[in-house]
Amino acid sequence: MNVYDFDKTIYDGDASLDFWKYSVKKQPLLVAYLPYQIFAAILFKSKVISRKEFKQRFFSFLKSVRSLDLSAFWDQHQCKIKKWYQEQKKESDLIISASPEFILKEMTDRLQVSLMGTKMDEKTGKIIGENCRGEEKVRRFKKEYQSTSIDEFYSDSKSDTPLKELARKAFLVNKNQLTPWD
């Protein structure tokens, strides 16, 4: 099994930010959440609130989203799936991401690969359980896939070192450049 991070790894950008921008274009009044989101970012950067709390505050805009049209969102953003990934993709691949599962699911269904992401209430932005990041990725992978080994692991971030340690081979991704990660 090959395992991939999503944002900035196989996807050129951050799907959560792209979804926020898409939502604001569809419903311009959602921009009213921006001061609250910026304040939450300042609190997070100042270590006043946790990453989980920041993420929940950021996604609080979901309370005002009239319709989650993720199919239309991915119709516009599927082109950001990197070509190198499309060329080597296998049905046995697992995408494991800190991004909310409800945002990525449509895309991973289109790619016909498995998904493990942050579980979030799509109506409130509240995280169910823990943010799927760092050690949490390892915990969730081991729980779901027990004795399955990771042949190759790909990520753009050293925060994924705990998952990299489970892989036979690992690669750091910078744009479209893959570098062995020892």
Q: Could you tell me if 55 and 77 lie in one domain?
A: no
Q: Could you tell me if 156 and 92 lie in one domain?
A: yes
Q: What is the pLDDT of residue 68?
A: 87
Dihedral sign of CA atoms 151, 137, 132, 156 in order: negative
Residue 34 belongs to domain spanning: 18-64
Going by their DSSP bridges, the two strands 167-174 and 94-100 should be labelled as unpaired
Q: Could you tell me if 84 and 168 lie in one domain?
A: yes
Q: Could you tell me if 102 and 162 lie in one domain?
A: yes
Q: Could you tell me if 82 and 145 lie in one domain?
A: yes
Q: What is the pLDDT of residue 128?
A: 98
CA 104 to chain centre: 7
Q: Could you tell me if 106 and 149 lie in one domain?
A: yes
How many folded domains does the chain comprise? Answer: 2
Q: What is the pTM of this model?
A: 0.94
Q: What is the pLDDT of residue 147?
A: 85
Residues of the chain with pLDDT under 70: none
Contact 115, 93 (CB under 8 A): no
Q: Could you tell me if 145 and 75 lie in one domain?
A: yes
Q: Could you tell me if 78 and 134 lie in one domain?
A: yes
Q: Could you tell me if 9 and 22 lie in one domain?
A: no
Q: What is the pLDDT of residue 9?
A: 98
Alpha-carbon gap, residue 104 to 74, rounded angstroms: 9
Q: Which residue, of 64, 80, 101, is where some domain finishes? A: 64
Would you give the end-to-end CA distance of the chain in angstroms?
Answer: 19
Going by their DSSP bridges, the two strands 94-100 and 2-4 should be labelled as parallel
Q: Could you tell me if 52 and 113 lie in one domain?
A: no
Q: Give which of 55, 9, 18 is closest to 157, Cα–Cα.
A: 9
